[in-house]
Amino acid sequence: MKTIAFFDAKPYDRIWFDEYSEEYGVSIRYFENRLNPDTAFMARDCDGVCAFVNDIVDEAVINSLYGNKVGVVALRSAGYNNVDFKAAYGKVHIVRVPAYSPYAVAEHAAALLLALNRKIHRAYNRTRDGNFSLNGLMGFDLHGKTAGVIGTGKIGRVFIDICRGFGMKVIAYDPRPAKDSGIEYVELPELYRQSDIISLHCPLTKDTRHIINSEALSLMRDGVFLINTSRGALIDSKALLDAIKVKKVGGAGLDVYEEEAELFFEDYSNTVIQDDVLARFVSLPNVIVTSHQGFFTEEAMQNIARTTLYNLRAFFQGDALDNEICYRCQKFGACDKSHKTRCF
């Protein structure tokens, strides 16, 4: 049986990984620590590593793992912006879970939109305090409004279906439009100008970092609602805060935050939060922050465990790695995987 070091382990991770690990021939050593250059040595007696979104898989970590003959990092996530793929190439294989439940994330985006619009978070607190006033709780009909969706991959398309279910008009931007999808694609400035709500469903790359900056915000409709369930750094947080203060943005639902790595997934309720921008966001009546919980459904967690263990078993058995990714995968025809079954 092969052993893996499982970083940033939480009690809820163990539910499905413990249930399935034996079936896939993998023994798991759970560590609460995040993976980073200081903790990478903890995997020294292991054959593989399992990492999550805020673990750091940079050059120093790769070299440490490679030096200890750890051949694979299995990301238990779809996103992979935390990996230095150039450093990993030829040394450590990187596998991920490309899809586990697009519904989980799209439904969470819709939950943020509905709660923000109808002020459910405020109503909940009010009625618990015996306050049954409606002052300040007025929302608007989603029916007939325009949703602008940035990124029409798996999650974006489920979100589009949900919006259509509400009777919304949908427009979208994606550099790789989905063929025969019936989606109306427009360029970004047009999307900003037309949309009543904008939801981000694209990955974080060097091109999409701060895609929502002060310039983009200035093109948007006054009072626009912004939903981000993708990656925090898609939004320039300070620019968003300024836009909220001048009422350019009427509401923001943020499941991810630029600087989340320091805070999200942990309990800091007894601590003074040092991040002033985040502290301001959580204090505003028209902002809802959730701590990267879009993926967090039973179905998604079960699929994440099964696919991660499948990826690890395939690596250990020398099989093809369907879910491997490398920096050459992005460039058409550059990666060897199609004929050699592994990226290297």
Q: Cite the active site residues.
A: 231, 260, 292
Q: Which of 163, 227, 256, 305 binds ligand NAI (CB under 6 A)?
A: 256
Helix axes 11-20, 298-316, angle to 10 degrees: 50
CB closer to ligand NAI, 128 vs 176: 176
Q: How far is the CB of 236 from ligand NAI (least distance, A)?
A: 15
Q: Which token pair is 186?
A: 């427009």
Q: For 255, what's the count of Cα atoms within 13 Å in the CB-facing half-sphere? A: 24
Q: How far is the CB of 151 from ligand NAI (least distance, A)?
A: 3
Q: Which of residues 50-109 bind ligand NAI (CB under 6 A)?
A: 78-79, 99, 102, 105
Does 148 bind ligand NAI (CB under 6 A)? Our answer is no
Q: How far is the CB of 269 from ligand NAI (least distance, A)?
A: 22
CB 265 within 8 A of CB 291: yes
CB closer to ligand NAI, 70 vs 116: 116
CB closer to ligand NAI, 60 vs 261: 261
Does 154 bind ligand NAI (CB under 6 A)? Our answer is yes
Does 294 bind ligand NAI (CB under 6 A)? Our answer is yes
Q: How many residues of this chain bind ligand NAI (CB under 6 A)? A: 30
Give the residue among 90, 60, 88 at the shortest CA–CA distance from 74: 88
CB closer to ligand NAI, 99 vs 120: 99
Q: How far is the CB of 20 from ligand NAI (least distance, A)?
A: 20
CB 52 within 8 A of CB 24: no
38/30 Cα distance (integer angstroms): 17
The contact set with ligand NAI (CB under 6 A) reads 78-79, 99, 102, 105, 150-156, 173-176, 201-204, 207-208, 229-231, 255-256, 292, 294-295
